Structure 1
Amino acid sequence: MTTELAESLRIMPGVRTTRRPVTPGGPAGFALSHVRADPMSTALPPILILPGGPGLASVLPYVGHRAIATARGLDVLMVEHRGVGLSRTDEHGQDLPPAALTVTQVVDDLAAVLDDLGIDRVVVYGCSYGTYLAQGLGVRHPHRIAGMVLDSPMLTAHDGRVQRAELRRHYLDGADPATAPAARLLRELVEAGRLNAAETGDVIQLVHEYGGPRLVRRLLERIAAGHGNRLWRWLHGLGNREISQNQPCVMEFDLVGAIAFRELGYAPEPDGRPLDVNLSFAKRAKDFPPFTGEPFDLPAELPGFDWPVAVLSGERDVRTPRVIAAQIADLVPDGILLPFNGIGHSILDSHPSAALLAAAAVAGGAHRRLPAMAGRFGSIPRPARSRALELMLHARLTLPW
């Protein structure tokens, strides 16, 4: 991170620090940054937002989200993940060591910030990897939870197997009539040696998420006609960028990748068939500790969650498929599933206004009304920046050749 960028962020309104031990039981050795968006006098509990990753920062990337929250009268808190951005280094300016980077320490950081700010209970909104942290907070500090929103949720370290099976059901087996034509094309192109099977998972997943079956079919038709190879190469490169190139104070995977591989099983087990997902993580696995086991048994813990839970799931999400979201909603005693049509992974990032409305409903005790309101969310405008890749793909793949 550049010193100038870090210093400018540290003096932003609402940014504070809490002293935390680098490792459990040690002295307070680093400053954990967090930001609260103009806390207001409101009867609703604060909303603690945990973004995805691991590696996504909170202070800089979500300035716009906090502005929307403030305009809606919501009290929003975000904690900069240890090992990332403003919470990356110890008091000597050295990067936090691998021993400092575990899920339980991150979860306990959240509780420590609530203590520091004098906040009793929160509605915790987790997105993707952040849903694992949210559920972990519920396991370790259940008395701090007033409600929970799990957006594009994780459940276990073996979710990748479900992800791969779901992607193959659509685009290899063609079990869905909407995806059967694209599945046939994909099989033909791989068998003919026109596509590298190892690249298909990242590319097809990405195009499906941002454009659905129609654009996947258009991409494969262009490849078959000899016109889409450059676009394919570009799309494949996008799948590696987040974990191979740090963006200071935005996305920093290089340290917290230890959590991804050691505790959450991000390294896939390729079988050599098409649509093997997350192979970009397999290339990075050698740089991090091997998988040793999960910190929590969430399927066993969820039936004990005694607070309202809204589970948000995008129709096109194959990174954290709908089947996982539905399982979580069924396991939680007071859980509901809120589907979003025409959206892929992460409602928080693709449709922030809808995400915050869902969080406000949970905070206000109205989460059971959300499924009946699902159709209305489609009419809420989405920010152009969240649709940039989607619009570009539509332009590239629907215009005449």
Structure 2
Amino acid sequence: MADKTRNRLRARAARMPGVRFVRRPADDTSPAFDLGYVRTGPASRAPALIVPGGPGLASVLPYHGLRRRAAAQGLDVIMAEHRGVGLSRTGTTGEDLPRTAMTLRAAADDLAAVLDAEQVPQAVVYGSSYGSYLAQAFAAWHPDRVAAMVLDSAMSGPDDHQHVRVYARRLLWDGDDPRTVIAAKLLRGLVHSGTATLQEACEVARIVYEFAGLDTLERLLRERTAGRVHRTWRWLASLGSRETEEGSPFVMEFDLVGRIAHRELNYAPEPDGGPFDPAASLGRAARAFGPFEGAPLDLAAHWRRFEWPVIVLSGERDLRTPRPVAERIAAAVPDGVLVPVPATGHSALDTHGLAALAAVSAAGEGRHRAFAADPGALAALPRIGASRHIASIVRAGIAAETLLPRRLFCGGRGAL
């Protein structure tokens, strides 16, 4: 059944408008394989090369709606299916690519090969989350191919976990920000009372804060303290591991490309035992890929050489790639601007697609400074992106478990 499902999804993805392939040659680490990619919209000299996150997020199926909207705006968009994922998962003989083929340098060279196949001299390179790191690596190794850049939820290197720990703890554990004092106190209370483990409580808090905001987080924590919202809490607690431990063919496939995350980017650093430690949720996955070996390049050493327009998008509620990282990059790049994205968590590409497309247009047209100076323009854009539905689900779950009889949720006769 798994093979049938994969074959069906592969056929569906291959039929999507604009899907093409470029042969990547065999080398010491990989057999030859066909790299899938997609190009949509009216052709232009400098299309947007959009690189999603993960690593492991596919490009062809998950972002069909985004590309359709981009085409309606007259944007020329190219997205490459990451090696080891979806249409780029197997070699010419049909076998999965080996994990040894998964390196940042090879993935960056794949992007250059796609531009070569499309006879595109330069692109507006957009990278989200892990894709922001790959976009910067591409710029460092292929600087002549970059016309402008958008870094969304930007990463800066294998030590980013230090910034994540400090930022998230200050905000939602210590309550140093006056706005988060109540939420932090409630969160600490749940852990200290034994109602939730430290890791579970922090993972739930992060998800709700990013997707639904502080008011919803406070309500959830109050209800959980009162002994309610069991089902909603359990569902939220399960979300964190799904990307890396379960996956979904042609949507999110971490099982091969996780080698990049762990060996080159240090996704699972040594845990420090504190709250909001990114190492805690990724420790199990790390054992499958081996220890961190070192980043293949020092991005900070290249930032001063990024002489094109750069927009750094930073979600107001992003706890995974927090604001201090974005500020550091925007300050170091010669023609960089920081653009806060209001009421948004991680990855505008996935949670606020129209903001992502607006940034692409502004960077490509050299309007990046005017774009940064007009925060109201982003705030006025409607939200698109599948992840935005999480907020509605959380609020509905809290309301249902609060208002409906407790026996429906707690194992009584006819329990849900």
User: Structure 2 length normalisation: TM-score?
Assistant: 0.92
Instruction: State the alpha-carbon separation in 1 of the partners of residues 73 and 86 from structure 2.
Output: 27
Correspondence list, 1:177-216, <5 A = 177-216=178-217
**1:181, distance to aligned residue in structure 2 (A):** 1.0
Name the counterpart of 1:23.
27
Residue 161, structure 1, aligned to residue 162, structure 2: yes
Change (3 A) 1:236 1:359: same
For the 8 Å contact 1:24–1:105, the answer to whether it is kept is no
Name the counterpart of 2:394.
393
**1:62, distance to aligned residue in structure 2 (A):** 0.7
Q: What one-letter code is carried by the residue in structure 2 that aligns with 1:335?
A: G
The alignment partner of 2:277 has SS state of coil
Query: Taking every aligned residue pair, what percent have the same amino acid on both sides?
Result: 49
**1:117, distance to aligned residue in structure 2 (A):** 1.2
Name the counterpart of 1:12.
16
**1:299, distance to aligned residue in structure 2 (A):** 1.1
For the 8 Å contact 2:161–2:277, the answer to whether it is kept is no
1:33 to 15, 36, 39: 36
Instruction: State the alpha-carbon separation in 2 of the partners of residues 193 and 278 from structure 1.
Output: 22
Q: Which runs of 5+ in 2 are unaligned?
A: 404-416
Name the counterpart of 1:290.
291
Name the counterpart of 1:382.
383
- More displaced stretch, 217-226 vs 290-299: 217-226
- More displaced stretch, 139-148 vs 176-185: 176-185
For the 8 Å contact 1:22–1:90, the answer to whether it is kept is no
**1:365, distance to aligned residue in structure 2 (A):** 1.1
Q: What one-letter code is carried by the residue in structure 1 that aligns with 2:349?
A: L
The alignment partner of 2:32 has SS state of strand
- More displaced stretch, 274-283 vs 346-355: 274-283
Name the counterpart of 2:105.
104
Correspondence list, 1:72-111, <5 A = 72-111=73-112
- Give CA deviations for 1:86-130 in whole Å, capped at 9, x if unaligned: 000001111111111000000001111111111100000000000
For the 8 Å contact 1:182–1:216, the answer to whether it is kept is yes
Q: What one-letter code is carried by the residue in structure 1 that aligns with 2:319?
A: V
The alignment partner of 1:81 has SS state of coil
Q: What one-letter code is carried by the residue in structure 1 that aligns with 2:317?
A: R
Instruction: State the alpha-carbon separation in 1 of the partners of residues 388 and 268 from structure 2.
Output: 29
Name the count of aligned residue pairs. 398
- Give CA deviations for 1:118-172 in whole Å, capped at 9, x if unaligned: 1100000000000011100110000000000000010011111211211110121
**1:330, distance to aligned residue in structure 2 (A):** 0.4
For the 8 Å contact 2:39–2:79, the answer to whether it is kept is yes
- Give CA deviations for 1:306-332 in whole Å, capped at 9, x if unaligned: 111000011000010011111100010
- Give CA deviations for 1:251-300 in whole Å, capped at 9, x if unaligned: 10111011110101011322223332352211111111211000110111
For the 8 Å contact 1:200–1:275, the answer to whether it is kept is no
Instruction: State the alpha-carbon separation in 2 of the partners of residues 68 and 60 from structure 1.
Output: 14
Q: Which runs of 5+ in 1 are unaligned?
A: none
Name the counterpart of 1:317.
318
Instruction: State the alpha-carbon separation in 1 of the partners of residues 115 and 39 from structure 2.
Output: 11
RMSD: 1.7
Instruction: State the alpha-carbon separation in 2 of the partners of residues 281 and 374 from structure 1.
Output: 35
- Give CA deviations for 1:18-55 in whole Å, capped at 9, x if unaligned: 111343587x7100011000433x4x611100000000
The alignment partner of 1:370 has SS state of helix
Correspondence list, 1:1-400, <5 A = 2-23=6-27, 29-40=32-43, 42=44, 45-383=46-384, 385-397=386-398, 400=402
Instruction: State the alpha-carbon separation in 2 of the partners of residues 12 and 107 from structure 1.
Output: 24
Instruction: State the alpha-carbon separation in 1 of the partners of residues 13 and 358 from structure 2.
Output: 27
Q: What one-letter code is carried by the residue in structure 1 that aligns with 2:6?
A: T
Q: What one-letter code is carried by the residue in structure 2 that aligns with 1:197?
A: L
Q: What one-letter code is carried by the residue in structure 1 that aligns with 2:21?
A: T
The alignment partner of 2:179 has SS state of coil
- More displaced stretch, 241-250 vs 383-392: 383-392
The alignment partner of 2:23 has SS state of strand
For the 8 Å contact 2:350–2:385, the answer to whether it is kept is no
User: Structure 1 length normalisation: TM-score?
Assistant: 0.95
**1:398, distance to aligned residue in structure 2 (A):** 5.7
Instruction: State the alpha-carbon separation in 1 of the partners of residues 399 and 373 from structure 2.
Output: 34
The alignment partner of 2:178 has SS state of coil
**1:59, distance to aligned residue in structure 2 (A):** 0.7
**1:220, distance to aligned residue in structure 2 (A):** 1.5
For the 8 Å contact 2:229–2:398, the answer to whether it is kept is no
